[in-house]
Chain A
């Protein structure tokens, strides 16, 4: 967004100050979206918490998704208390059993209880979903702020690096990293963090670019506030709504990447349980014991779907103009 565009908006608002009060609910003046854009450009908007509450009231699907996510997190935290069997507790006599009261989702080829393994697996999936997204968020914010604020060579360098990261298909990039570092859960963190920062950096950069030109940042600069302070005190807080949305949508994509890598056998290594790994081990029994594959697949999908619905709902209230991508 260029300075010209912003000036247009300000002018538009000034013109409308003649009827400012009415324009809040006045459909005659402008479309809803334009109004919100106007308000968010100028900085008159509800707080993040208020808007989230509004989402909970208006978007039942997002609310349900948030509750589902909460339940899954609780299940993962208390997995040892809830799981009827141990993560790797084998019972070879009762191997490959169908679902029953004793084994809700049946047992696998070593006689391990699938339900218990799903519960334990949720810990890996959630941690792998959330932690690398957080790391990627931090890297992305720093890179984006630096690129947008300083511009010039710094910008060119960081953005070319982001271009490079974004043009390698993510799974293949992860495969290269896993090849180099070796397959393990920790290395998975590193690989996923490295993949995801670039897209976040792009968003932060573009927001920084538009905020950099705003009056209050110019004012801050003119009275000698340091660059670091301007970036983190003045620009960064304005990016938070978008970052919440980005983070919520980054988590499911990390979970999908993890499950894909584990499915290929180059992610989480046995005997640890991860949903992707469970599918990997179960796929040889697909035609004889399909439930073995079904249970982890459904689990992945429920979690990913819940995060996606929540992310969509958050985007509607926090960042209505972010593109669907």
Chain B
């Protein structure tokens, strides 16, 4: 016990100049009538410059809320209840609306899950992209903005970019719409791109193209990516580092290869096992038993203990803390921690 407390994660409490964005003990809580829902409860996360970081978990685990907290998009009755979001020497959690908006779109941008609904149906797509440009650089003028948008459309692989500028969203396919969204996010060459399930709504064949595109564009402009997904396949494809999230907390963290080679946390193991693999008997596809616990009534101990195949009495009564169990590999599980000692 005493040992694990000493080894508690303290390294990320000071800012590293190599990081684009750092979350320190971020808490985003929803104050509902039935009680406080701790959608994000003490998340520490760092995104190094030029790297691609994945945030993985089941739906409802708080990964999207983490992204929305960064962009200041939490909806009522949610708000940031504590912690800090450090970007460029500023704490985004404490910035006013006006200052935050001057960063969003320019330095940090976001691609959403649903390209069908995340574009405004009554505005031309070109206008929607150039709007981003003009909001942050009003001096360049419409003509120039149009030129740059058409350029960008070409870069993201939209055929006939000049013509597509005047299209409405419903006239484009899902894949093209997501390309428009990426163009919108990348047009100001941001330092960080947050992609919230960017390929979930797309066909598998297009998924790979879109991932490649994001990877390539970001490499060109030195943009870091925070990619949020429930799909470990996506993580394996492009991520440098992975954070696994469960019930509002980070449960495991490591670089991608380390994680895939040495899965430690039982939850991550469950996620890995539930990926269908060619050659294996599909009827015996593993699923994690049970459901994500109600965030209003979390178990007293580890949030995963109700579904964990190896939960002990300690798991049910005490909350495990994220601890470094191996160089660069952190896990919030008593079993892993006991093993490493």
Contacting residues of chain A (21-60) with chain B, CB-CB under 8 angstroms? 21-29, 31
In the docked arrangement, what's the CA distance between A151 and B293, Å? 45
A20 within 8 A of B: yes
Decide: B295 and A22 in contact? CB cutoff 8 A: yes
In the complex formed, the residue of A with least CB distance to B248 is A28
Decide: A22 and B60 in contact? CB cutoff 8 A: yes
| 1/0 contact string of B40-63 vs chain A (CB within 8 Å) | 000000000000000000111110
Decide: A20 and B39 in contact? CB cutoff 8 A: no
In the docked arrangement, what's the CA distance between A18 and B39, Å? 17
A160 within 8 A of B: no
In the complex formed, the residue of B with least CB distance to A27 is B30
Decide: A19 and B32 in contact? CB cutoff 8 A: no
In the complex formed, the residue of A with least CB distance to B293 is A22
Decide: A21 and B292 in contact? CB cutoff 8 A: yes
Decide: B78 and A21 in contact? CB cutoff 8 A: no
| 1/0 contact string of A1-33 vs chain B (CB within 8 Å) | 000000000000001101111111111110100
Q: A29: which of B32, B60, B78, B293 is its contact (CB, 8 Å)?
A: B60
| 1/0 contact string of A267-291 vs chain B (CB within 8 Å) | 0000000000000000000000000
B296 within 8 A of A: yes
Say yes or no: A22-B291 contact (C-beta < 8 A), given A15-B59, A27-B30, A28-B64. Answer: yes
Number of A-B contacts (CB under 8 A): 55
Q: B62: which of A16, A18, A21, A28 is its contact (CB, 8 Å)?
A: A28
Which size class do B's interface residues fall under? 20 to 34
- Nearest Cβ on chain A to B1's Cβ, whole angstroms: 30
In the complex formed, the residue of B with least CB distance to A29 is B60
Residues of A within 8 A of B59 (CB): 15-16, 18-19, 28-29
Decide: A28 and B65 in contact? CB cutoff 8 A: yes
B37 within 8 A of A: yes
Residues of A within 8 A of B34 (CB): 25
Residues of A within 8 A of B291 (CB): 18-22
Decide: B292 and A27 in contact? CB cutoff 8 A: no
Residues of A within 8 A of B61 (CB): 28
Q: B39: which of A19, A21, A23, A28 is its contact (CB, 8 Å)?
A: A28
| 1/0 contact string of B55-91 vs chain A (CB within 8 Å) | 0001111101100000000010110000000000000
In the docked arrangement, what's the CA distance between A49 and B61, Å? 34
Residues of A within 8 A of B77 (CB): 27
Say yes or no: A25-B37 contact (C-beta < 8 A), given A19-B291, A20-B291, A31-B75. Answer: yes
In the docked arrangement, what's the CA distance between A18 and B288, Å? 9
In the complex formed, the residue of B with least CB distance to A21 is B291
In the docked arrangement, what's the CA distance between A296 and B270, Å? 72
Decide: A27 and B78 in contact? CB cutoff 8 A: yes
B294 within 8 A of A: yes
Residues of A within 8 A of B58 (CB): 18-19
In the docked arrangement, what's the CA distance between A24 and B60, Å? 11
- Nearest Cβ on chain A to B108's Cβ, whole angstroms: 21
Say yes or no: A25-B296 contact (C-beta < 8 A), given A20-B291, A31-B75. Answer: yes
Q: B32: which of A18, A21, A25, A31 is its contact (CB, 8 Å)?
A: A25
| 1/0 contact string of B119-161 vs chain A (CB within 8 Å) | 0000000000000000000000000000000000000000000
- Nearest Cβ on chain B to A82's Cβ, whole angstroms: 41
In the complex formed, the residue of A with least CB distance to B290 is A21
Decide: B294 and A28 in contact? CB cutoff 8 A: no
Decide: A19 and B37 in contact? CB cutoff 8 A: no
Say yes or no: A28-B75 contact (C-beta < 8 A), given A21-B293, A21-B294. Answer: no
In the docked arrangement, what's the CA distance between A31 and B64, Å? 13
| 1/0 contact string of B2-36 vs chain A (CB within 8 Å) | 00000000000000000000000000001010100
In the complex formed, the residue of A with least CB distance to B64 is A28
In the docked arrangement, what's the CA distance between A41 and B225, Å? 38
In the complex formed, the residue of B with least CB distance to A19 is B292
Residues of B within 8 A of A16 (CB): 59
Decide: B37 and A27 in contact? CB cutoff 8 A: yes
Decide: A19 and B295 in contact? CB cutoff 8 A: no
Say yes or no: A26-B37 contact (C-beta < 8 A), given A18-B58, A19-B58. Answer: yes
Say yes or no: A22-B294 contact (C-beta < 8 A), given A27-B37, A28-B65, A29-B60. Answer: yes
Q: Return 9 A-B CB contacts under 8 Å, by A number.
A: A18-B292, A19-B59, A20-B291, A22-B295, A25-B295, A25-B296, A27-B32, A27-B78, A28-B60
Q: A21-B293, A28-B39 are in contact. List 9 more A-B contacts (CB 8 A).
A: A18-B59, A18-B291, A20-B291, A22-B294, A22-B295, A23-B60, A28-B60, A28-B61, A28-B295
Task: List A residues at the B interface (Cβ < 8 Å).
Answer: 15-16, 18-29, 31
3 tightest Cβ-Cβ pairs between the two chains A and B: A19-B292, A22-B292, A27-B30
